[in-house]
Chain A
Amino acid sequence: MMLFHLLKKDVLIVKKYVLIMLAAAVLIPPFMLWRAPQYTGVLGFMLSVIFCVFMLLQYVSLKEYQFPKAATLLCATPYPRKMIVLSKYIFCMVTYVACCLIYGIETLIIPELGSCNIKLFVLMLFITCIFIGVYLPVQYKLGYEKTKFAFAVVIMASPFILPQLMKMENVNLDFLSLLSPLLAYGGITLLSLGILIVSITLSISFYSSVDLP
């Protein structure tokens, strides 16, 4: 229950942006279909997930940065620090699941968006886990400002990375179908969970040793 309330806390402090991000998750795939049909499908879904998860996490981090003593008060209550960390990961995963649901519904309504299959969701889960798996421990270790700077560097490098990402549309994931679906998707899901577990352990370890303001 504590986790649920901490999750509710994250939603409450960014509630102004939650609706905007949900709208973005709804609009990005059809927008891609309208403006850049060649990138509809995997890339549209990928962009909506990255945009929603990253932006909402950024807003939560920004609010925590603006009111740093609020986290101190939470840690002075019976909320354990590890639960506070864990709730951030769950917040990201809930956002991811919401994006999946929205995209799933959209593909039913707009068939031109492409097929909605488990392969896509598993691949995106893997990418999301890598993203938050790196971002959150770095933020717990370096703080919001330094992490923002580090990721700004990554964003500045994106013109060089993006062309490579564009090619992902042509990535042949058929090798996965050579394996049994259970093995392939189960393996990637387990790997994603493994990344999350290592990341959560690191984040808890960093946050537990921090002297709060």
Chain B
Amino acid sequence: MNDILKVENLNKSYEGFSLADVTFSLPEGCITGLIGINGAGKTTTLRTLLGLTKKQSGNIQFFGLEMEKNEKKIKDRIGIVLDDGCFYDELSLAGMKSIISSAYTEWSEQDFKRYMDIFSLDPKQKINTLSKGMKMKYALALALSHNAELLIMDEPTSGLDPLIRSQLLKVLTDYMENGGKGVFFSTHITSDLDKIADLLIMIHNGRIVFQEEKDFLLDTYRIVKGDAKTLTGDVRKLFLSISETAFGFTGVTKQIAEVQSFFPDAITERPTIEDIMLANIGGYKK
């Protein structure tokens, strides 16, 4: 499988925050989630990839092409959804569309009209009259109407109600089924990724914690519940994080076999992505 995005040793510093040697790749045909808590570096990573903030060092390749040398060509093949829409809110949907569509060589008016119908959006409506969910749908209609091969979205589901989130996830799976080569989106709402992601990349404090297939991650980690008295110093090391109460402990581990040998009577559960994310940053509590 070819990589549609390859990032190597990406560095970017702000006062009080830095992306440090961020390295990951996106294989073709996958929906990839970039997860992390607020302030972990998700938005900075996406913006640096798109050249919206200037990287200090590192190499970014989309579709095998260097971003620095082929920015225009690459952006023509990417659909973008930024958080909160990022529009001139006083324009009508048709007005904003006329600005955005002119940037793309393969703009499809037919696709745009289809998405506007699917999302029940009126082209004459002013953007500032749209709800957050409607703005996100409009942003998605713009991003999907120029035969984009890769869709990059920054927190698309943040602040949306469950119905709109579910519609949005359906559109993403349809996009992949209809020839999209990849979707890459950041989120801190991990339940969305449980439903559709193939691959997960976790970032924390500007550093990549892991890049794994979702199913592999869910198979690798376990939540273990047992008697707190049995937790000795050596055993504690088998857990990524532990939360203790008067009734017992709950921990997350990657070393399932060893833990089961220590706690044969302990209850083990399959974790969610949120459990895995929290365990990796030491914030797990159940």
Measuring CB to CB, which residues of chain A are less than 8 angstroms from any residue of chain B? 1-2, 5-6, 8-9, 12-13, 63, 67, 69-70, 72-80, 209, 211-212
Contact of B52 among A6, A79, A80, A211 (CB under 8 A): A211
- Knowing A5-B103, A78-B72 touch, does A13 contact B90 (C-beta < 8 A)? yes
* Extra 15 A-B pairs, beta carbons < 8 Å, given A5-B102, A76-B82: A5-B103, A6-B99, A8-B99, A12-B91, A12-B98, A13-B88, A67-B88, A69-B82, A69-B86, A72-B82, A73-B80, A75-B52, A77-B80, A77-B103, A211-B54
| Cβ contact within 8 Å between B104 and A77 | yes
The answer for the CA separation of A78 and B51 in the assembled complex, in Å, is: 11
Q: Which of B53, B54, B88, B100 is in CB contact (< 8 Å) with A77?
A: B100
Nearest CB of B to A83, in Å = 9
Count contacts on B: residues with CB < 8 A to the other chain. 29
State A22–B66 Cα separation when bound (angstroms). 46
CB pair A212–B52 under 8 Å, yes or no, is yes
Q: Which of A73, A75, A212 contacts B87 (CB 8 A)?
A: A73
B164 to chain A, nearest CB (A): 20
The answer for the CA separation of A153 and B131 in the assembled complex, in Å, is: 41
Which residues of A sit under 8 angstroms from B84, Cβ to Cβ?
Answer: 69
Against A, the Cβ 8 Å flags (1 = close, 0 = not) of B65-87 are 00000011101100010101111
Residues of B within 8 A of A (CB): 47, 50-54, 71-73, 75-76, 80, 82, 84-91, 95, 98-100, 102-105
24 A-B pairs in the complex with CB atoms less than 8 angstroms apart: A5-B98, A5-B103, A8-B98, A13-B91, A63-B88, A67-B86, A69-B82, A69-B86, A72-B86, A73-B82, A73-B86, A73-B87, A76-B50, A76-B75, A77-B80, A77-B104, A78-B72, A78-B73, A78-B104, A78-B105, A80-B71, A209-B54, A211-B47, A211-B54
For the complex of A and B, 10 pairs with smallest distance between CB atoms: A5-B102, A69-B86, A73-B86, A77-B103, A211-B53, A76-B80, A78-B75, A212-B52, A9-B99, A78-B76
Docked complex Cα distance between A74 and B50 (Å): 11
Which among A1, A69, A73 has the highest number of chain B CB atoms within 10 Å? A73
Q: When the two chains form their complex, are residues A67 and B99 in contact, meaning their CB atoms are under 8 A apart?
A: no
In the complex, what residues of B have CB within 8 A of residue A80's CB? 71-72
Distance in angstroms between the alpha carbons of A190 and B82 in the assembled complex: 43
Assembled-state Cα–Cα distance A77/B96 (Å): 13
Chain A residues contacting B99 (CB-CB under 8 Å) are: 5-6, 8-9, 12, 74
Which residues from chain B contact A77 at a C-beta distance below 8 Å?
A: 75, 80, 100, 103-104
A2 to B76 Cα, complex, angstroms:
13
B52 neighbours in A (Cβ, 8 Å): 72, 75-76, 211-212
Contact for A70 among B72, B87, B104, B105, CB less than 8 A: B87
| A2–B100 CA distance with the chains assembled, in angstroms | 10
- Least Cβ–Cβ distance between B234 and chain A, in angstroms: 47
Question: Which residues of the partner chain B approach A69 to less than 8 Å between Cβ atoms?
Answer: 82, 84-87
- Distance (Å) between the CB of A52 and the closest chain B CB? 21
- Give the shortest distance, in Å, between A143 (CB) and chain B (any CB): 16
